[in-house]
Amino acid sequence: GAGVSQSPSNKVTEKGKDVELRCDPISGHTALYWYRQSLGQGLEFLIYFQGNSAPDKSGLPSDRFSAERTGGSVSTLTIQRTQQEDSAVYLCASSLLSPYEQYFGPGTRLTVT
């Protein structure tokens, strides 16, 4: 079956611009997670959605980062006024139910110039 998909696969943007990253979870998965992977910081948790509950935003690094999940399916991670330190691979994962196995998407490589 189809796995987690993310788009775009690569994004190059100028400092100060806003970007939107999209995640399509596996159909039927109720939990959706965003992580960031960068050379200096390793793999970091950003935000987590479970069903209709309020998201756990405790990993978002600043108020320039936000995410939403529409209709309990697709999620969009938005970074406003991008900075060079935002350059990283942004990974999305979904699971059937929290806290079971998380399946990761291919990631979006973001480069801020």
Partner 1 sequence: ELKVEQNPLFLSMQEGKNYTIYCNYSTTSDRLYWYRQDPGKSLESLFVLLSNGAVKQEGRLMASLDTKARLSTLHITAAVHDLSATYFCAVVENNTDKLIFGTGTRLQVFP
The residue from 19, 23, 67, 91 that contacts partner 1 (CB under 8 A) is: 91
Q: Look at strands 5-7 and 42-50 and give their pairing.
A: unpaired
Judged by CB under 8 A, the stretch of 13-21, 53-61, 62-70, 72-80 that binds partner 1 is 53-61
* 55 contacts partner 1 (rule: CB under 8 A): no
CA 32 to centroid of chain Cα atoms: 9
| Minimum CB distance to partner 1, residue 21 (Å) | 14
User: Which stretch of DSSP H or E encloses residue 15?
Assistant: none
List the one residue from 19, 88, 105, 112 that touches partner 1 (CB under 8 A). Answer: 105
Cis before residue 8, ω within 30 degrees of 0?
yes
- Our CB check for partner 1 shows the closer of 5 and 80 to be 5
Pick from 43, 53, 52: nearest CA to 92 = 43
Counted residue by residue, the chain has a size of: 113
Q: Which residues bind partner 1 (CB under 8 A)?
A: 31, 33, 35, 42-45, 48, 50, 56, 58-59, 91, 93, 98-107
